[in-house]
Structure 1
Amino acid sequence: MAKITNEIKEIEFWEHETLENIYFTIHQDLNKMLEGLNSKDKIKDDWINAFNRADKKRQNSDFARGAERIYFWLFSQFGKPNSAPIGADMFFETNRAFVHIDIKTAKLNNPSDYKGKVPISENQTSYTSEKKKFNTNLPIYYNKDKKNRKLCLTYVINIIYHEEANNFKIKAIYLIAIPDGALYPIYGDEIIGQGKVKSKSFRFVYKNNPCFELIKGKPYRVKKVFLDNDLEEKDIISFELE
């Protein structure tokens, strides 16, 4: 068993606290969030043809870009945005940390991008492994050796949607906390899966260890924001949240 230092405990504590704060921010007005994400439908006739001409990878990226605008709106009071060019879709400074929040979208018929795992790129994590050999560009701390040192914390909002006959229906939204790089002694390689881009990404396989191991009661690193009535939780994350 890895040595558990007070520093590691504190990092995981703030990971959990920030997860709860993010969840509160987006869940306090669920209808507002869903209305925003569905606002694209009001003008669909004016963008759908251009959207359909793009390849599938570009379509998923474009869908995510639209969702990002809604979350920027919802997170207007969460923290101070930071303009650093290396980081996630949304990047904020709070009193305790610099917080990266990335929007990940996946089609329901492509479970390789959900089902208890989520793809993470080198600009979206500080978690790394000597054995797995992939690059990460985020630090464990910003300004590590300075008085204004702050943690670097990373999260994903995973949106699963279904497309049929030019209709796009959101089926599930989950919030996921990615372990900080300092927590590798706790989570190891068990949570690392094959990435989309060799040496520059990995899949965070949270289903293999979905809890905060050092927090009393071991709360989940995953929180359900929305799940359509015709789906079960295990259809999306491969297990049931208690």
Structure 2
Amino acid sequence: MFFEVKDAFIHIDLKTVQTRNIGDITRSIFVGENQNSYKGVMNVNTRQGVIQRDYIPALPTFYNKGKDSEKICLSYFITIVYEDENLNILDINLICMPNGQLENHYGSRVLQAGKNPGKTRFRFTEIPTFELLEVPKSRVKVIYFDKNMDDDLKNRLSFYEGIFDAQGDS
């Protein structure tokens, strides 16, 4: 989904993860080139050692609309974790990926090489807050967390549980 507000263009992507693929959401999430503006370098583990690979997104950091008008490009991901056997929802989150203009601050902490060349993952657990705010706020909002889920799953999703608990009953 993509829409315009007064001072930004907002991209929102919905990602669903089944519990049998829970590793796809515990520390990072796959992001496509058309879902973000964060140009950067990824460290890739190979048989020959670690090499660096450039990642170039398709979205601009700012959209130009008219002569003197610029609007920032914002990228958000709604993630839903569910049990594939009974479709019970275990966790729903809203995650904000940094705009590419912030590459000088966040550097290579944002990106992780994907399984295929040119693909990337957003390592939200490496930068869980908006660090440049006077009072850093969480980059991840946990909308729902099922406290009654299986202990193994709860352990795998402990990053989200910690945020959920810190948010209170919101």
TM class, shorter-length: 0.7 to 0.9
Name the residue aligned to 1:229.
Answer: 147
**How many matched pairs?**
150
**CA distance in structure 2 between the partners assigned to 1:144 and 1:94 by the alignment:** 12
Evaluate the alpha carbon distance shift between residue 127 and residue 174 of structure 1 in structure 2; reply closer, same or farther with a 3 A threshold: same
Greater RCO, 1 or 2 (C-alpha within 8 Å, sep 6+) = 2
Which has a greater percent of strand? 2
Report the identity percentage: 36
- One-letter identity of the residue aligned with 1:158: T
CA RMSD of aligned residues (A): 2.0
- Asked if 1:141 corresponds to 2:62, the answer is yes
1:238 maps to what in 2? 159
Larger Rg: 1
Task: Give the aligned partner of residue 17 of structure 2.
Answer: 106
Are the aligned partners of 1:116 and 1:237 in contact in 2 as well (CA < 8 Å)? no
Report the counterpart of residue 194 of structure 1 in structure 2: 113
C-alpha change, 1:196 and 1:144, in structure 2 (3 Å) is farther
The answer as to whether partners of 2:40 and 2:103 remain within 8 angstroms in 1 is yes
Aligned twin of 1:213: 131
Pairwise CA distance, 1:168 = 1.3
Give the whole-Å Cα distance in 2 for the aligned partners of 1:227 and 1:215.
Answer: 26
Q: Which runs of 5+ in 2 are unaligned?
A: 42-51
Q: Give yes or no for contact 2:20–2:84 (8 Å, CA) kept in 1.
A: no
Change (3 A) 1:145 1:93: closer
Question: 1:138 offset after TM fit, Å?
Answer: 0.1
Match of residue 80, structure 2, among 159, 183, 188 = 159
Counterpart Cα distance in 2 of 1:187 and 1:144 = 27
Instruction: Measure, in 1, the Cα distance between the counterparts of 2:144 and 2:30.
Output: 20
Cα distance, 1:237–1:151 mapped onto 2, change above 3 Å: farther
Pairing 1:121–2:24 present: no
For 2:111 and 2:33, how far apart are their aligned partners in 1? 13
| SS at 2:53 equivalent | coil
Q: TM-score, normalised by structure 1?
A: 0.57
Please list, as runs of the form range in 1=range in 2, the aligned pairs for 1:74-93 lying within 5 A after superposition: 90-93=1-4
Q: How far apart are residue 195 of structure 1 and its match?
A: 1.6
CA deviation map 1:63-100 (0-9, x unaligned): xxxxxxxxxxxxxxxxxxxxxxxxxxx10100010000
| Equivalent-residue separation in structure 2 for 1:121 and 1:183 (angstroms) | 18
Structure 1 residue 145 displacement after superposition:
7.7
Provide the residue aligned with 1:180 in structure 2: 99
CA deviations over 1:109-167 (Å, ceiling 9, x no partner): 21331012111010001101144312310000111783221111110001111111xx3
| Alpha-carbon distance in 1 for matches of 2:88, 2:156 | 16
TM (norm. structure 2) is: 0.80
Task: Please name the residue that 1:97 is paired with.
Answer: 8
Which structure 1 residue ranges, 4+ long, deviate > 6 Å from structure 2? none
Per residue, is there more helix in 1 or in 2? 1
Superposition deviation, residue 196 in structure 1? 4.2
Cα distance in structure 2, aligned partners of 1:197 and 1:179: 22
**137-146 vs 155-164, which deviates more?**
137-146
